[in-house]
Every structure is written in C-alpha cells, then in structure tokens.
Structure 1
Amino acid sequence: MIKVEDAIAIIEANSKKMPTKLISVSKALGYVLAEKVISPIDMPPFRQSAMDGYAFTHSIRHQYDIIGTSQAGDHSNIKLKNTEAIRIFTGAFVPDNADTVVMQEHVMANKDSILIATMPEKFSNVRPKGEQIRKEDIVFEANTLITPAAIGFLACLGITEVEVYKKPKAAILVTGNELVQPGKKLKKGKIFESNSVMLEAALETIGIKKTKVYRVKDNLKATKNALKSILKKYDVVLISGGISVGDYDFVKEALLQNGVQELFYKINQKPGKPMFFGSKNETLVFALPGNPASSLTNFYIYVSPAIKNKLGFTEIHKTKVVRKLNSDIKNSTGKTLFLKAKYDETKVTVLDGQSSAMLNTFAVANSLLIVPEDIQEYKKGQLVTLLPID
C-alpha cells in the first residue's frame, strides 16, 4: 500500500502524451495543440473603421465635402484632400491618408457635405493594421486547449489546419454478478449498475466523448478473455469493481495473466483504497473500486490528471483552494481522507453521507476536502485544502 502522493507521482511518470495528427480547425474543438501556431497575416490586414461614420484627415476644420463611400469588403484608392471626407462603415477600409473616423451621431450631414458637431481626437475609431496580431507573431503556444473562441480566431487568420494531440481511446469494463442495467426489472439481491454511465460522464467532462462499455460476470476466465481483447484496442482502460480481495474478485489476477505490469496496488486513503494501476505497452489500466463514491473519488484524483496528460494539457491537476472549516474533523484512520464537501467564498462544510457506496452526497458536493494521513484533527475555523470537482 502506498501514499497518495506516491500514487500520483507514479501515474504522472507513466502517462505519456498521445501521438499527434493534423486536423481541420472546424473539427478541432476540445483538442490540445501539439505545436505553436504562427500568424500568416496581420489582423486586421488593413486599417479598419471601428464605427459607422465619416473618415477624414484630422485638422481644425469642422466642415468637409463628401467624395465617396467605403463599405465593408471594398478597397478604395480614394485620395482625400484635407477638405474632404468619405462615408464609411464598421469594418471598412480606411483610405491611406485618412487618420480619423467621426461617429455618424456626432455629425450633421447632407448628401454633399458634413459638419462635425463633436470633434473626435486624432486617430479615433481607426483600427490599426495588425492591431490584434502581427504577421509571424505567435497565435497560440503548444499545449493550448482549442475553444470556440480559438477556432474563430484561427479561422479569421485564414488557418484551416492545426497539429493536435490525438484523443486516447477509452474503454470501461464493468464487473459484478449483482448488477442490472437501469430500465430492467430489479430482482432481489440485485442493484442497478451506475458506475459505467457515471464514468462515461466524467470522461466527457475532460474531452473524451466516445467511450466503449463492456460488461463481464465475476468469473476469472471471462474477465481474462474480456481484458485480452480490450487491452489491444484502447489507450486507457477503466475497470469498475472486482479489485478487492474477496472470493469473487478476479480483476487483478486477470490483468497480471494478460501481461499488465503492476505499478501499484492499494493506496493509503479513504475512500478508494483498493485501486490497481498498471500498464501494458502504452495502455494505462485503472482498476477502480466498485463502490460508486470510491470510484468517482479516484477518477478525480488519479484518472483525470493521467488522461489530461495524454491529451497534452500543461496543467493536469485542478488548482486547489483553501477555505475555513465550518466544523471539527477527526481522522483516526491513519489514512488520507477525501471528504465530500461544499464550499463558498469564505468557508467549507463537510457533507453528511460519506459512505463509499453513496452518491447522493457526491451529487451536491463541489469539492473533496483533503485530510492528510498524518493529520488527526482539524478544528472549526482552521484553513483546509480542497480539490474542486465538476
């Protein structure tokens, strides 16, 4: 049995980034850049009007003759005299020798001339060439997550493809003779299986949209055969249940018989102690406890950072927060505790219902309160460390 921090370090050391691929910008949402992106153009590529109004050369004059119009998409070679102006619209090309745009609300106009009632400062309402970014500047550094705004920015620079890290293929293997799929009749001695949909949803929050779910009975041969096939196809395998030391827990033995290297088994924590982490070739294997709260706790602490590392994120761990404790906590276990909790701007409250089999508390929690193994007691009002959760 190892310490929490040692388990985290082992997982980090073994979760390598995925290979890369070239992908269309329009399909890149949620991927992470594998290399920096350089701007091929200035943006804007010409001086633009920031307002609907009139472009002119700034002077002490207030009256100007109108000699033309510049709409968005036009490129006019109009040369303005210092007595002339043009009608101009937002986003339109500003003539080379115009330096200012006056808002139309600040002008009295007829079809031939304007009188500026409120004179703007020189250079007002003109977006300089390259105001957003200059040609050859870095658009995004490597390891940047591609968001909707990022896609829009790349597209406005004319960039159609980017190099990204591939997303790992993930599978979930659910074990347990007692499990029944939701929607089917629940017989005595059976429970509805919830871990697969829970873990699928958790994977989706970090960018893994497609996950294959397999199910197997508590049988060594069946578990071994299922894993033999799964380990060949996927980059990350999550196993739910069958990893403790009961007479019908066959997962560890089946993994070892399939050539999975054991990197650790059991962590000095509560909940979530009976967890196995191993690898075969480049495939990572997380055998999680069957109890739902234990399984989800270990997902947040261990699985999520490992997958984020494979996805290419620089920051793979959520930023912890510190709050004042709203009640006393005792820890007589000698283990690291992860307690479902809810925090606001100033304080944190430990929630009732901390059993590893119960999800109702998890469903309303927004954090896990961390009590290190060497801390026996926290008093009300003390500062404690929290791991925010989705």
Structure 2
Amino acid sequence: MEIVTITEARRRLDGALPSYKAKIEYVTPDQALGRITARDITAAHAYPPYRKSPFDGYAIHSHEGTTYEVVATIGAGIVYEGPVAAGQAVRLMTGCAVPGDCDTVIPQECVDHRGTRIEVTETIKPGSNIIPVGEECKPGAIIIPAGTKLTAGALSVAVGLGNDRLPVYAKPEVLFLTSGRELVMPGEVRHDGQIYNSNAYLFQSLLEQYGAAVTFYHVSDGPDDLADEIAAVRRLAQGKDLIVSTGGVSVGLYDTMPQIYEALGAVQLYNRITMRPGSASYGGVIDDNGHRILILGLSGNPSASFNAFHLLAVPILRRLNGERACEFPRITCRLGDAIHKQNPVDRFVQGLLTYEQGQPVFTPNTTLTSSALLGLAHTNALAYIKKGTPPLPKGTPIEIILLKAVP
C-alpha cells in the first residue's frame, strides 16, 4: 500500500497530464454558459454601433434659437433619414439613433410643448447628450480574453458585440462509477442493509457543475459479476479523459475497484492518502494509445468522498476545461464552534462560512464522520487543520478553503 499526502497525490496526478491540451469547439451562446473561452472574443463592430440618445428627448441641429418645430417622433430601432434643418427637432426615445443632421439632444424635461412646437427652457450646450459611436469599444477590440469563464454578463457582452459562435474548450469526458451492492437507486425497494445511492446524485451533479460531460455506470462488488463489469467499464472508458469512482477502494473483501482498474491497464499512482476524512483513495492513469485517462477512486462515504473530490478532482477538471485558476480561494476566519477532534493527519472539516458583523465565521458541521450525509446540504467551505494540531476551541483563527459563494 502506497500512502501519500494530499500534496503528493496532487503532484502525481498533475504529472500524469503534463502536455494535455483541451479540444476547442465553437458553440452558440445558449450552449456557452459556464464554458471557458479558448480564444479571445473580439467585437464584431463598434459599441455603440451608432450615435444614440441616452434618454427621451429631442434631437436638434444646434443654433441660437430656443423654439423648434417637431417634424417626427421615432422609437428605438427606427432611423429618421429625412433632413433636419435649423429650427426643427426630432423627438427620440431612449437609445434611438440620432439623425445625421443633428448634433445635440435636449432632454424632454427641459422643454415646454406648444402644439407641434417645443421651447427649450434651459441652456443646453451644443454637442451635448449624444453617445458617440464606439464610446465603449472599437471593432476588433478584445472584449473577453481567452481563459475566461462565460458568465451571464460575459455572454451578454459577446452577443451584444455581434458574436453568434463562441470558441470554448470542449467539455472533458468523464466516466463516473459508483460501487456496492448496498446501494439502490431512488424508487427502488430498499432492504435492510441497503442505502440509497446518494453519491450518484452528489457527484454527477458536481461533475456537471464543473464542466464535465458525464457517463454514469454502477458497479456491484459481487465476485460473480467482476468479469462482466470489467468489460463494461473498459467499453465505457474509451475516449474518456477522467474516471471518477466512489466506493470499493478500501481494504474490504469486496473492494474491487483497484482490480477493475488494473484489468484496464492502469498504472497506480497511490492507493491511500494521509487525510481525514477521505484517506481511502486510489489514483491511477491509463495510457490508451497515447491518450491518458486519469483515475480517481474515492471513498464510498459521502463526507470523505466530498472532500477528496474538491481537493483532487476539481483542480483536474478545471485544468481539463482550460481554466487558468484551478485553486479554491483560502481565507483565515474565526471558528464559530469548537472542533474537538485529535489530528494525527491533516484534517479537512466541512462546514458553513458566514459573515457576522462583517467578519467571516466558520461553523463546522454537527457530525464530522466520514459517512456523515446531512451536512452536505449546506457545506460551502472546508477548514484545513494541519497534522498535530490539538483540538480547537471556539473563536480560534482557522484557515478556510471556500468552495462556493457565501450565503
């Protein structure tokens, strides 16, 4: 058994993909949310692409007078192409294109109406209140750099600047396996000694959240099924970038996942990690005719596998996705409740990070065992406790790995 630290496990996994380059594809904006840009996205045209009015008002050809004849009224999307002579005005709605003959827009609050005529009641400097062409950017300007995660705001910018196909990294192909005869799917009859396969929903959702295209398969740990399941996993693993499994990697009689991986030709990188929870773990790599498939075998216990997934799988997924930043942010905050555990190895405690009077506070989950489940519903952070640290009283400063936004 080769036992390594979490740092060494990550180093070995990173080293197994030294020259990986994600594939590039072009997708429509409605397929691009959360994807990573593979190339710079540029402006197809200036923005704004025409001179426009910042508010409802009247476009004029400025001169010394204060009274104007309104010759037309237009709304957004309509262009007035007729002449606008001195002493004439065109009424505009917000965002309208300013007629070519006009150089000033008078806000509607600054005029009195007299039939078809208006009188300007305030002094407006000639040339005022027109947003020029290209105020925000010129054609060809880089608006979203390569390596950017496409948020709703970024998609809005890309579309608003004329892009209808976006260059993104292809989603990594992941085979996700759960293991164990004790697991049943929702809707199936659960007998004594069995539990529902919550891991199937936890990790398929997390894999998709971090940008993977997921294929799911359940492996029983029955010895009579091993040959058929090796064949099934071998078929499903073809062309995949990563295999993630939960369960079957400890030292029990029916922990068969390492046997399956060995049958697929995997080279073992490690088979245990000095961390709690999450020590039961397997790392490996398959060389499939020059295409490398990483393997992450995680514990079947929900809390243990949750920790290992975030510490090991997420950085790999981000790298496969083409993301530049692969690490979770870390902050130091105050401990909201005591942690009474001894720490013979590095420990990662699940909990909730909140803010009290503007200061971050980490509250550990009530149950801190490997098999704990309920706390996962609200966990947004892991507290990192170094090996040898004594039990920690409430109020102790502690380092936190922030997994998602603070509520």
- Please confirm whether the aligned pair reaches a TM-score higher than 0.5, indicating the same fold: yes
Cα distance in 1 for partners of 2:192, 2:354 equals 42
**Which residue is equivalent to 1:348?**
362
Task: Determine whether 1:63 maps to 2:67.
Answer: yes
Kindly state the Cα deviation for residue 286 of structure 1 after the two structures are TM-superposed.
Answer: 1.0
Change (3 A) 1:308 1:43: same
Task: Determine whether 1:371 maps to 2:385.
Answer: yes
My pick for the range that moved more, 369-378 or 314-323, is 369-378
Change (3 A) 1:107 1:360: same
Cα distance in 1 for partners of 2:77, 2:343 equals 71
Change (3 A) 1:62 1:6: farther
Contact between 1:56 and 1:100, CA under 8 Å: does it hold in 2?
A: yes
My pick for the range that moved more, 267-276 or 127-136, is 127-136
SS at structure 2 position matched to 1:46: coil
Kindly state the Cα deviation for residue 67 of structure 1 after the two structures are TM-superposed.
Answer: 3.7
Task: Determine whether 1:385 maps to 2:399.
Answer: yes
**Which residue is equivalent to 2:169?**
165
- CA offsets 1:224-257 (integer angstroms, 9 cap, x no match): 3333222214222111111011111121122123
**Which residue is equivalent to 1:6?**
8
**Which residue is equivalent to 1:299?**
309
Match of residue 241, structure 1, among 226, 232, 247 = 247
AA aligned to 1:163 is P
AA aligned to 2:383 is L
Provide the aligned C-alpha RMSD in A.
2.4
Matches within 5 A, 1:132-151: 132-151=136-155
Match of residue 361, structure 1, among 364, 372, 375 = 375
AA aligned to 1:9 is R
**Which residue is equivalent to 1:101?**
105
My pick for the range that moved more, 56-65 or 269-278, is 56-65
Change (3 A) 1:339 1:122: farther
**Which residue is equivalent to 2:22?**
18
AA aligned to 1:242 is G
SS at structure 2 position matched to 1:207: coil
Cα distance in 1 for partners of 2:104, 2:237 equals 65
Change (3 A) 1:265 1:118: farther
Change (3 A) 1:119 1:12: farther
Task: Determine whether 1:227 maps to 2:233.
Answer: yes
AA aligned to 2:297 is A
Cα distance in 2 for partners of 1:40, 1:22 equals 16
- CA offsets 1:292-335 (integer angstroms, 9 cap, x no match): 11111111211122112111111222212321113444553321
Listed as ranges, the gaps of 5+ residues in structure 2 are none
Cα distance in 1 for partners of 2:204, 2:57 equals 54
Percent same amino acid among aligned pairs? 25
Change (3 A) 1:162 1:70: same
AA aligned to 1:310 is L
Contact between 1:34 and 1:143, CA under 8 Å: does it hold in 2?
A: yes
Kindly state the Cα deviation for residue 124 of structure 1 after the two structures are TM-superposed.
Answer: 4.3
Change (3 A) 1:368 1:82: same
AA aligned to 1:287 is G
Change (3 A) 1:77 1:183: closer
Match of residue 125, structure 1, among 129, 148, 154 = 129
TM-score, with structure 2 as normaliser? 0.87
**Which residue is equivalent to 2:51?**
47
Cα distance in 2 for partners of 1:231, 1:188 equals 33
Kindly state the Cα deviation for residue 20 of structure 1 after the two structures are TM-superposed.
Answer: 1.0
Contact between 1:175 and 1:218, CA under 8 Å: does it hold in 2?
A: no
Kindly state the Cα deviation for residue 137 of structure 1 after the two structures are TM-superposed.
Answer: 0.8
Change (3 A) 1:57 1:382: farther
My pick for the range that moved more, 3-12 or 159-168, is 3-12
Listed as ranges, the gaps of 5+ residues in structure 1 are none
My pick for the range that moved more, 345-354 or 370-379, is 370-379
TM-score, with structure 1 as normaliser? 0.91
Change (3 A) 1:120 1:215: farther
